[in-house]
Amino acid sequence: MNAQATRRRQTRRSQTPARRGPVRPSLPELSRSVEDYLKAVYHLSDQGAVATTKDIALRLLVAAPSVSIMLKRLATLGLVKRVPYQGAQLTREGRQAALRTIRRHRVLELYLTRHLGFAWDTVHDEAERLEHAVSDLVIDRMAVALDNPRYDPHGDPIPSADGTIESASLVSLATAPVGSELELRQVTTQDPERLRFLAGHGLMPGLHFTIADRQPFGGPTTVRFRPTGAVQVVGMELAQLLMCLGGTK
Amino acid sequence: MNAQATRRRQTRRSQTPARRGPVRPSLPELSRSVEDYLKAVYHLSDQGAVATTKDIALRLLVAAPSVSIMLKRLATLGLVKRVPYQGAQLTREGRQAALRTIRRHRVLELYLTRHLGFAWDTVHDEAERLEHAVSDLVIDRMAVALDNPRYDPHGDPIPSADGTIESASLVSLATAPVGSELELRQVTTQDPERLRFLAGHGLMPGLHFTIADRQPFGGPTTVRFRPTGAVQVVGMELAQLLMCLGGTK
DNA sequence: TAGGAGAATTAGACGACACTAAACTCCCTG
DNA sequence: CAGGGAGTTTAGTGTCGTCTAATTCTCCTA
């Protein structure tokens, strides 16, 4: 009965990941929470900055002490480098794990829209739950079915299976100068209302346009769609969400 | 800050499902463990029998006391009717919940084989994890993409969205009389080795055949495939896994 | 440069789920 | 019909991940 009991404990969901050896080789099955925290730290620590406890807490809708404790745990797992009272940064392993999760999320979002008929404003929450349960094998099959896509429905780059991710330098529609010829590359919101509005007015990744005008004092930006010549006025708040790739002028 | 803290607790994964009102209407989000236990009770309590603690423990690879405690919890949730020292049966709500999970599982299995190119011996584990994370909406979309299928890759019936499930009376290939003309309807194992072997010899749901011979003393059964006339010998152990629908004689 | 405001951490708890060891029940068999 | 063994439950722990309250740290500003 003892051998059996032992098998049990290992078969059941890993409570203590049973790390034999260094972290890298056969992935130790991170918990849903750990993956969420890693994603949060990834998104909050742009280029060398540290993610603060408070920002992580806000992003995950969790109390600050929970973050403190989790960061300590992530540090002992080697996924995060922590400076007490300052914040945390991902280690190489942590970054890889975060990118795996982000890849899963973005492939799922695209798959749900392309193959299962979901609108782009509804896929975020689905993907948020599925990303923790789906295996990389399924994700890779989905990616193949999607012809190895580079971007998710919102234009966010999809990390490759080996953990590299494109980083383009984009400008917000709100700040690009009048006269610029741009391509809308990325829409940085998950709010369904905004997404529906944007899609309803043709403002989706891939759109080419020219900035025809911008009113001062936080006023709207007017864009002219490139092939068609159609004109669209975009308010400041939305313009800030639209990240563009630019042929200058 | 208090209103915020309250919102938090509700947004985060439900620890205590916060039941306002009766169980039926907007599903109270059962945990992965609860769903697993409900499925186990469902599968173990065929027609009116009760599922015993020990059998549930064996099926879920969990210690018996864990089952005891969980059954008590399920009973307070109204999902299970419990007789101490005897076992448990599903209530109507418990049965509905179990069938929802089983529907998700079986639709996922079929989707993975049909649309993502997985072999039928590999989909069980994937589906086992996904079934707890995927929404009914996604499942329904998958079902539509599959043309509202009635059976999963192993021939198990897929419960409908409203919670009804087909129950056919099947006979095992091991016990059907020689001379029977049968249709292989269901393969009752998830063991990859056995599944691969069976598929490799054409023994998959939908096959029509006649029982040509059976050796005594637990010997093999010989079947003749119906359109082609090809002959296949099947040992006792495997024959017991093959459930058939029969035109008698 | 001494407060203080704000952020982070520690302290103490809880709920969900799992485990082992020990006690208890039920029922079968001698 | 009285053990005794199989099966079940109780008792006591542990881990993960969360919370609130209280404490500690940092850094800006008066």
Alpha-carbon gap, residue A159 to A43, rounded angstroms: 14
CA nearest A120: which of A160, A148, A144, A151? Answer: A151
Q: Which of A1, A2, A4, A8 to mutate to test the interface with B (most CBs of B within 10 A)?
A: A8
Residue B48 pLDDT = 77
List pLDDT tens digits, range B27-50. Answer: 678 999 999 999 999 999 977 789
Collect all residues of chain A within an 8 Å Cβ-Cβ radius of residue B135: 126, 129
A27: confidence class by pLDDT, cuts 50, 70, 90: low
Residue with tokens 């563009």: A244
Judge if the beta carbon of B5 is closer than 7 A to nucleic acid strand D.
Answer: yes
Residues A142, A147, A148, A154, Cα dihedral to 10°: -80
Residue A168 pLDDT = 87
Judge if the beta carbon of A52 is closer than 7 A to nucleic acid strand D.
Answer: no
Residue B188 pLDDT = 95
Closest chain A residue by Cα to residue B57? A8
CA of B223 to C1' of C23 (A): 55
List pLDDT tens digits, range B145-181. Answer: 999 999 999 999 999 999 999 988 999 999 999 999 9
Note whether A19 contacts B: Cβ–Cβ < 8 A: no
For chain B, state the CA radius of gyration: 21
Burial B66-87 (b: 16+ CB within 10 A, else e): bbbebbeebbebebbebeeeeb
Do the Cβ atoms of A61 and A128 come closer than 8 Å?
no
In this prediction, residues A190-207 reach a mean pLDDT of 95
The mean of the pLDDT values for chain B is 88
- Of A133-142, B20-29, B155-164, least confident by mean pLDDT is B20-29
A29: confidence class by pLDDT, cuts 50, 70, 90: confident
Collect all residues of chain B within an 8 Å Cβ-Cβ radius of residue A11: 61
Q: Is the pLDDT of residue A14 over 90?
A: no
Chain B closest-CA separation from residue A198 CA (Å) = 24
**How many CB contacts within 8 angstroms connect chain A with chain B?**
60
Residue A247 pLDDT = 65
Q: Is the pLDDT of residue B249 over 60?
A: no
The DSSP call for residue B128 is H
- The minimal CB distance from A62 to the residues B8, B135, B142 is found for B8
Contacts of B159 (CB under 8 A, 6+ apart): B99, B100, B102, B103, B106, B165
Beta A242-247 vs A231-234: how paired, if at all?
A: unpaired
Residue B49 pLDDT = 87
Do the Cβ atoms of B239 and B220 come closer than 8 Å?
yes
Compute CA distances B165 → B35, B99, B108, B159, whole Å: 18, 8, 16, 4
Question: Whole-prediction pTM value?
Answer: 0.87
| Inter-chain touch A134–B129, beta carbons under 8 Å | yes
Do the Cβ atoms of B222 and B233 come closer than 8 Å?
yes
User: Which residues between 65 and 104 in chain A have a beta carbon less than 8 angstroms from any beta carbon of chain B?
Assistant: none
Tokens matching residue B18:
């916060």
List pLDDT tens digits, range B98-109. Answer: 999 999 999 999
Chain B closest-CA separation from residue A105 CA (Å) = 13
The DSSP call for residue B169 is -
The mean of the pLDDT values for chain A is 88
- Residue count of chain B: 249
List pLDDT tens digits, range A163-173. Answer: 999 988 999 99
**What proportion of chain B, given as a percentage, has pLDDT over 70?**
88
Compute CA distances B213 → B84, B166, B178, B193, whole Å: 48, 31, 6, 25
Alpha-carbon gap, residue B154 to B188, rounded angstroms: 7
End-to-end CA distance of chain B: 75
**What proportion of chain A, given as a percentage, has pLDDT over 90?**
83
List pLDDT tens digits, range B201-233. Answer: 999 999 999 999 999 998 999 999 988 989 999
| Inter-chain touch B116–A145, beta carbons under 8 Å | yes
Q: Is the pLDDT of residue A60 over 90?
A: yes
Judge if the beta carbon of B7 is closer than 7 A to nucleic acid strand D.
Answer: no
A48: confidence class by pLDDT, cuts 50, 70, 90: confident
Compute CA distances A196 → A108, A203, A221, whole Å: 19, 10, 19
List pLDDT tens digits, range B96-136. Answer: 999 999 999 999 999 999 999 999 999 999 999 999 999 99
Residue A26 pLDDT = 52
Q: Is the pLDDT of residue A203 over 50?
A: yes
Alpha-carbon gap, residue B64 to B70, rounded angstroms: 10
Alpha-carbon gap, residue B78 to A125, rounded angstroms: 29
Residue B227 pLDDT = 87
Residue A46 pLDDT = 79
User: Which residues between 128 and 167 in chain A have a beta carbon less than 8 angstroms from any beta carbon of chain B?
Assistant: 129-130, 132-135, 137-138, 141-142, 145
In this prediction, residues A108-134 reach a mean pLDDT of 96
